Amino acid sequence: MKKNILLIFLCFFSILLNINAQDSIKKKVVTSFNGGMMLHVGYVAGTIGEAGYKAAGCPFGIGGVIRLRFGKHFMLGSEGYVSTLKQGHNGSYIKYGWGGVLGEFYWEFKHVAPYFGLTVGGGANTVFLLRSGSAKDWLSENNAIFHKRGFFAVVPFAGCDFIVTKAFHLTLKADLMNCFSKGKLLMPYGPRFYFGFVFNH
């Protein structure tokens, strides 16, 4: 996984060099940087084959992003989030903790700045399913599943910043996280929608 992330980073860096080669030599390579936090919700669904369980619902999570701005239309950085889908009203959950390297193209206008990009990275998927019993007692449960595994992630995204001031933006974003473990796409699967703030410097 580390080799794949390094390879993607080198590809983004090559693109970056080509973009900045067109700029004046007098201009800075890194023109600014920004970072912020975002909350997200969404809808995911799919069958976890190994457990014979059909999951569906709205995940909720939090995370953040930090980016360096190169030239006028390209940013390179990283982001990371925790996303939890609760199931069964009994303490069951499916959780994704992940992060990665992102490359992003954006266009800044008077009050808005649309963007799109790709994040490549990885993380851990945790599944806890309480088939019977209660999460409110202190008794041992005999019918539960707990499983944790790593994954490789490819996440396309698109969004828009709303420029409140030069230093402070609100942002809306949608992504589609594709998580692969042993060559298999992990379920459940679906879009997530993000809302947050970004500080620019």
Do 12 and 103 contact (CB within 8 A), yes or no?
yes
- Of residues 110, 100, 70, the one with CA closest to residue 177: 100
* CA 154 – CA 8 distance, rounded (Å): 11
Per-residue pLDDT of the chain (201 residues; tens, 9 = 90+): 544 444 554 455 455 445 544 444 445 788 888 999 999 999 999 999 999 999 999 999 999 999 999 988 999 999 999 999 999 888 999 999 999 999 999 999 999 999 999 999 999 999 999 988 888 888 888 899 999 999 999 999 999 999 999 999 999 999 999 999 999 999 999 999 999 999 998
* CA 196 – CA 201 distance, rounded (Å): 17
What's the pTM value of the predicted model, to 2 decimals? 0.82
